[in-house]
Structure 1
Amino acid sequence: MLPEAAAACIYLAAEAAKLPPPILMTVLTVEAGHEGTHAHNSNGTEDYGPGQINTVWIGEIAQAIRRSPEETRALLQYDGCFNIRVTATLLRRQINAAGEFWTGVGWYHSRNKAESLRYIRRVIATAKRLFGPEIIAKTPTAAAVPHPDS
């Protein structure tokens, strides 16, 4: 996907999911997937595309878009914009479920507290590197970043 097309997909997906576009871009950077990416996980699941969408979501996504699981896997793996839209939707869902922005960002990766906190730290560090430290102050509930002891 050309950079201009990817930027447009990120912006539109972020707007639709009511996410700050820089945070969606940061999550995609941390996930480090690309169109065509297919990663095998140690727990037997697989991740697809730019947002590294896990196979645990395939059935639900397939049902929502009225496609077969096989077609859905292919879309997630090879259609970058589709994958980015799903990434934004799942990220928003996790934020809503958590009731707190940064906890939801961590839950996008894992509900395991230690893994979630590690992921939050990676996203914050990457966001600061990409956009400068002021980006964190501009995110919702920036003061509520979970502390490792909480």
Structure 2
Amino acid sequence: MLADVPPNFEERIVCSIAMAIRYEVPANIVLAVAEIENGRPGQWVANTNGTHDVGPMQFNTAYLNQLSRFGITPADVAATGCYPYELATWRLKGHLVRDTGDLWTRAANYHSRTPKYNRVYRRKLMTVASRWAGWIAERFKVREVSQ
């Protein structure tokens, strides 16, 4: 089923889809965020505001302060395996459920709530998610679900 993807993307795809199912978030959106963020386990990228984006899903360290009370560490979001995808999908679900705006604006809040940055990410997210929706539809039995 995943024979047509490079081996280094297999974890990204499997973990993104598994966490999308767990958190009831559209899989194409989780896959799109993972592709756009394009992080790697152990990766730390410095931002101009003094924070860092960490791991495969480039989870911002500003959010880690909130999660430390649950025992979640930078090493957890930088790790290999599905846990970084779980944390990111949990955060994405929070934006989809609690934020305002259309689906794409709320999903783009994963990157930034600042309107000018959100708009750029939103456009990219819509394009990449559309491509992933096609990829999923070609390989899996899918059905539309509405709230």
The two structures have a TM-score, normalised by structure 2, of: 0.78
Shift of 1:79: 3.1
User: Does the CA-based 8 Å contact 1:50-1:83 persist in structure 2?
Assistant: yes
User: Does the CA-based 8 Å contact 1:50-1:80 persist in structure 2?
Assistant: no
User: Does the CA-based 8 Å contact 2:104-2:125 persist in structure 1?
Assistant: no
Question: Aligned to 1:102, which of 88, 101, 104?
Answer: 104
Distance in 1, matches of 2:27 and 2:14, equals 10
Shift of 1:129: 3.7
Gaps of 5+ in 2: 1-6, 138-143
Distance in 2, matches of 1:80 and 1:40, equals 23
Alignment partner, residue 3 of structure 2: none
Shift of 1:44: 0.5
Supply the RMSD in Å over aligned alpha carbons: 2.6
Q: How does 1:26-37 map to 2 (within 5 A)?
A: 26-37=32-43
Query: Number of aligned pairs?
Result: 134
Q: Which residue identity lines up with residue 91 of structure 2 in the other structure?
A: L
What CA deviation, in whole Å up to 9, does each residue of 1:22-59 have, x standing for no partner?
21011100111111211000110001011110011112
1:108 match: secondary structure: coil
Alignment partner, residue 56 of structure 1: 62
Q: Does 1:44 align with 2:66?
A: no
Q: How does 1:91-130 map to 2 (within 5 A)?
A: 91-99=92-100, 100-130=102-132
Distance in 1, matches of 2:35 and 2:12, equals 12
Question: Which deviates further from its counterpart, 4-13 or 46-55?
Answer: 4-13
Higher helix share: 1
* Identity across the alignment (%): 26
Distance in 2, matches of 1:140 and 1:49, equals 32
Task: Give the 3 Å change call, closer, same or farther, for CA 126–110 of structure 1 in structure 2.
Answer: same
